[in-house]
Amino acid sequence: MNIIKASFEVTYDFPVYFLDDFFSEDEQLLKEILSITSEKKPIIFPIVENAIVEAFPTIVSDLEALFLRLDMPITPSFVIAGGESGKNDEALVPQIIDQCIEHNIDRHSYILAIGGGAFIDMVGYAAAITHRGIRLLRMPTTVLGQNDAGVGVKNAINYKERKNFLGTFSPPHAVINNYKFITKLSERDKRAGIAEAIKVALIKDSHFFEELVQQCTELKSFDRLAMKNMIHKCAKLHLTHICQNGDPFERGSARPLDFGHWSAHAIEELSGFELRHGEAVAIGILVDSRYAFYKNWLTQHEYQLIENLILTLGFSITKSVLSKLDIELSLDNFRTHLGGELCITMLQGIGRSCEVNDIDNKLMQKSVSYFINDTMEE
């Protein structure tokens, strides 16, 4: 038997920019972001979430004016739905592909995705499967998009009511975090994104968690400086994990960044996606933190700090949805999502985590019931 074993390494390099207003930035910086040279002027294909056009009615004309100033070819903007409804809509990805054909978008062109985390997931998936990969510029417009979903290497759509069932690992060309978009978000959407900061602080950085606790009042009122600091530090922790943990494309089963997500995915679906992803994650964090307390992995004081922070920030526990949670089924679905072996990230203190392969379902039900049956401590 003859065997040829092949091995090669590919280096991925993508910058994440934090800007106050992309449209007002220096021309030279914009050329750096877009890798523009006098000889190289690729086509820009903007795909914009409809909610962003509603919040910023001039964004399409602003894009046209900007790229005209940069002397870059730009197609008409394609404005479509976002959110989980967009990820559930089977027609949108084919529509994006058809637009790429119509406008002669090739692998040297750029798709510029402007929208929330779910929207960028969907557009990124379309970009990754067209021509085996069109270069993607992400411009996330939500807190969750800027500090988590928009800065990673994953793209996905939902399929047959299964969250992120179809997807790719495909790093973007660059991420542009434009803070101006955050200013028009509802309080609910601003709050939802803070959940991912709490998550990554709990599993990665106790000092960051302490900072979130200390700045709780400022974050509750969405103070500009506190929010910008939270977004930057959360994004940095996510990127550090992706780049340095040795498994950026999640070939193993351990996914520390999915702390609190086994139940969050189910809770989102049970709510008919009425709950924001961050709102479901906040509930998932509480459930798993309570479980860790029952397992003596968290002290009473540590657990109370987590509960107080999440509730003080204004997150609510949707008992009618949580009461429908089928723990065994949800864990089994998450196991399938992970690749066949159950591997759940749990806390062993604030800033410290571990991976467990078995869950005590009765104890987990006790944790869920704590939030349903008005047994929460005052």
**Token pair 């987990």: residue:** 364
Give the whole-number percent of the chain exceeding pLDDT 90. 78
pLDDT of 378 > 50? The answer is no
pLDDT of 34 > 50? The answer is yes
Mean residue pLDDT across the chain:
92
pLDDT of 256 > 90? The answer is no
- The predicted-structure confidence for 186-243, as pLDDT tens digits, reads as follows 999 999 999 999 999 999 999 999 999 999 999 999 999 999 999 999 999 999 988 8
Q: How confident is the model at residue 376 (pLDDT cuts 50, 70, 90)?
A: low
Whole-number pLDDT of residue 375: 57
DSSP sequence for 329-343: HHHHHHHHHHTSS--
Whole-number pLDDT of residue 110: 94
DSSP conformational letter for 183: G
Nearest to 24 by CA among 153, 127, 176, 192: 176
Mention every residue, 6+ apart, whose C-beta is less than 8 A from residue 26: none
Whole-number pLDDT of residue 349: 96
Neighbours of 224 (CB within 10 A): 12
Whole-number pLDDT of residue 202: 97
DSSP sequence for 57-70: TTHHHHHHHHHHHT
Specify whether the backbone of 342 is left (phi greater than 0), alpha (psi in -120 to 50) or beta: beta
Q: How confident is the model at residue 253 (pLDDT cuts 50, 70, 90)?
A: low
* Residue bearing the bigger pLDDT, 27 or 313: 313
- The predicted-structure confidence for 111-164, as pLDDT tens digits, reads as follows 999 999 999 999 999 999 999 999 999 999 999 999 998 998 999 999 987 888
The pTM score is 0.91
Mention every residue, 6+ apart, whose C-beta is less than 8 A from residue 164: 121, 154, 156, 157, 158, 337
Whole-number pLDDT of residue 97: 98
Least confident of 32-36, 291-295, 359-363: 32-36
CA distance 180 to 278: 20
DSSP sequence for 299-334: -HHHHHHHHHHHHHTT----HHHHTT--HHHHHHHH
Q: b or e along 23-48 (b: 16 or more beta carbons within 10 Å of the residue's beta carbon)?
A: eebeeeebeebbebeeeeebbbbbbb
The interaxial angle of helices 277-294 and 261-270, nearest 10 deg, is 130
pLDDT of 260 > 50? The answer is yes
CA distance 378 to 314: 16
Whole-number pLDDT of residue 294: 98
Helices H, strands E: what count in the chain? 17, 10
Q: How many residues does the chain have?
A: 378
CA distance 342 to 325: 18
Tokens of 321: 């949805």
Domains and CATH numbers, the chain: 16-184 (3.40.50.1970), 187-244+251-372 (1.20.1090.10)
Collapsing DSSP states into helix, strand and coil, what is residue 349?
A: coil
